[in-house]
Every structure is written in structure tokens, then in C-alpha cells.
Amino acid sequence: MHGFAIFFQFRIVRAGWQINWWERVWNEDYVSDVPLVHVAINWLRKNLPAGDRLSIVHGDFRNGNFLFREADGEITAWLDWELAHIGDRHEDLAYLLQHSYGHYAEDGKTYLVCGLTDRADFLKRYEEATGLPVDPATLKFYEVLNLFKCAAITRGTSPRIMIGGKCHQDTVIAYAHAISYLLMEELRLVLEEVI
Amino acid sequence: MELRPELILTTVIKSLGDNVIPAIDPDNAPARQQAQLSIALLEILKSRLPLMYRYDRHDLKSFVELGETLASSGSNKEATRNIERLCSEARELLGRARADPGEMLERSKDLRRAISVYVDDVRETGDEHTALKVDRIVVASAEELTLRERAWMLPFGFEADPAIVPDLETLLDPVR
């Protein structure tokens, strides 16, 4: 039992398996390699956080991935659970912060997380709602991991799907690929901050 | 940049053939005919696009050879001198236009991969100071590359503020 607990602590709370997973996706799917992605992978391996508790992680947790009642705005279902796993709660939190899912306020300067509120207020409200503190270093780790994961999917896998020609939504996939360069820029900015 | 014209054309042709044409009213003959001809035209474009550069180079070379032959047998008139001048400029241009675009793309892929392997190798076998230095060089270099890709992809409409992305042509080196 003790060994099983250690296994969980290492395999699930620590995100090493996710780095391996998405690195393999990247290596199998990329059409042309990107050195920046390797800097990200190496940084992730060197900065694995320990994690403070096990949580259910959705893996694609963002606005757009839920259903709600128009009458009262109540969320009635969360969608797209195919990347769900047991892991660190900071992963979904960091995912929500990704710029692809929000936009700027009318002043053109304040970035609104998921179009709701600014980053500091968003994190403060998370802490208030959950009673759990946000660890900045862990949050940063998952920001890099999520950006790397999304870059692997959109920059690596999307063109591979188009080349394979086995999908009926190839034109949509082309648009998904176009997002990859915004993710790469966000990844570059976060790496510039942490390296 | 993976969305190269050949891949975009393949994708559009497949989407039209798989999804759009089957949905056209079978009794609307003009619409069906136009859709099928549109796909046929895109197929022609797709097959010829990779040869476009070689075609233009061959075309120029053919007229240089014809011009030189005519000029050598002609008199020293203004028209002859004009042909000689243009042939001389075109010869110099052909000398600069020897590499095939596909070859350039392959070399770029090779170099991207070699640099990525180098980044991993330094991180694995080098000291922390050197690895950090390499990482910082790569991150700094990505700024210009990412900006160019964003400018290229601007028409897709995902930029939160398109005004901050420079015009694509200002980011590409002039061909000389």
C-alpha cells in the first residue's frame, strides 16, 4: 500500500508522465521541429512541482466547454473530459489563464481571464471560493505545461491530421493550427520570464 | 509554417469533395457543374504549383537563349543592344536563381531538427551555465520567428489586437 501511495505521489501528482506523453505526441507529429519547444520540455523536467493534494483535473477546462441555463446562468454540465486525470489542481487553474480563452477589456490593456476579470482578481477569487492557496511556482509550471501541450496539439498534430486526410473537418483543423502561433508566443513570453 | 499552399489546397479540395458537393441539390445542374469544375481547377493548381518556380526559370532561360542567338546575328541597332542588355541582366538573375524552393524547405527542416537536438544535448550533458545560455539564445531568437508567423497567420483572425502585428512584408528579407 505504501508503495502504491509513493507511485501515485510520483506518477500522478508530479506531472512527469504528462511531459513524456506530450513530448511523444510532439516528436511523432511535428512536420518541422521547433527548438523553443525543446527549451520548454527541458525546463518542465527540471522544475517539476511536488503538488499539495490530489484533485480531479479536467484537462481542457475553459469557457466554451460547458453548458448553461440561459435563464439564470447556472452551469449544468462540463464537456470534453477525454483528457481528465488525477493530478494537481493548479493545472486546470493555469489552463483558464491561457490567453486564447480570454480577451482584453475595453481599455485595450487589461487582459480579462476567460473574459471575466483580471488575473490577480481571478486568482484571489479562486482562493476565496476554494479555501486553497495558489502556489505561484506551481501555477507557472502548469502554465508552461499547458502551453506546450496545446502547442503540440495545434502546431504538431493539426497539420499531421491534414496531411493524413482521414478527417472530415480538415478546414477546421487548419484554423486550429493557426492558433498555434499565438500559443508559441505565449509560451515564449512565459519562458522568457522563468529562464 | 506548416500551412503551405499545397497542404491548404489538399485540405480545401478534400473538404469540398467530402462535405460540400454531396450536399448540393442534385437537380441544380449548374451548381453541381461549377463545384466540380472548381475542384478540378484547384487540382490543376495543386499539381502545377510546386513546378511554378522551375517553369518561370525555364521560361526566362529559353528567351535569354533566343535573344542571344538573335542578337549575335543582328546588326548593331538600338533594338539589338536592348536585347543584349536584357539578356545579360537575365543571365545574372538565372545565376542567382539556381536553388529549388523545395530544397530550401528541406534544409530548413534539417537545421531546425539539428538545433533542437543540440538544445537537448547541452541540457543533458553540459553544465547549467551553458545550458541556460543556449536556452536564452533560443528563446530570444523565437521572438522574431513567432512574430513573422503571427503576421503570416493574421488573416485567420485570431489576434486579439491585429494592429500590434507588423505588416508581413516588413518582416521578410528582400530577395536579392
B80 interfaces chain A, CB cutoff of 8 Å: no
**Could you tell me how far CA A3 lies from the centroid of its own chain?**
30
A145, A18 Cβ separation under 8 angstroms: yes
- The DSSP-derived string for B119-136 is HHHHHHHS-HHHHHHHHH
User: What pLDDT, on the 0 to 100 scale, is given for residue B67?
Assistant: 94
Which helix (DSSP H) or strand (DSSP E) does residue B142 occupy? helix B128-153
B39 touches chain A (CB under 8 A): no
Can you read off the three cell numbers belonging to residue A89?
489542481
Report yes or no for ipTM above 0.90: no
Distances from the Cα of B94 to the Cα of B58, B68, B81, angstroms: 9, 14, 20
Q: Does A107 touch chain B (CB under 8 A)?
A: no
CA nearest to B17 within chain A: A168
- Determine the pLDDT at residue A10: 46
A-chain residues near B113 (CB < 8 A)? 32-33
Output the CA–CA distances (angstroms, integers) from residue B49 to A104, B4, B8, B148, B167, in the order listed. Answer: 40, 11, 12, 23, 25
pLDDT-derived band at B99 (thresholds 50, 70, 90) equals confident
Would you call B161 and A184 a contact, using CB atoms and an 8 Å cutoff? no
Window B:10-29, CB contacts with A under 8 Å: 10-12, 14-15, 18-19
Torsions phi, psi of B26, nearest 5? -60, -25
Q: Residue A184 and residue A155: Cα distance in Å, rounded?
A: 9
Residue A113 has φ and ψ, to the nearest 5°, of: -60, 125
Among B4-13, B26-35, B97-106, B109-118, which is the least confidently predicted range? B97-106
Which residue from A173, A191, A192, A175 is spatially nearest to A44, judged by alpha carbons?
A191
C-alpha cell at B62: 529559353
Q: B158 and A34: CB-CB below 8 Å? A: no
- Residue ranges for chain A with pLDDT beneath 50: 1, 7, 9-12
pLDDT for B176: 64
Query: In this structure, are residues A26 and A152 in contact, taking their beta carbons and an 8 Å threshold?
Result: yes
Q: How many CA atoms lie within 13 A of A85 on its CB side?
A: 15
In this prediction the pTM is 0.88
Per-residue model confidence (pLDDT) at position A13: 52
Q: Is residue B78 over pLDDT 90?
A: no
Residue B98 pLDDT > 70: yes
Q: B132-174 pLDDT, tens per residue? A: 999 999 999 999 999 999 999 999 999 988 999 999 999 998 7
Task: Pick the more confident residue, B76 or A71.
Answer: A71
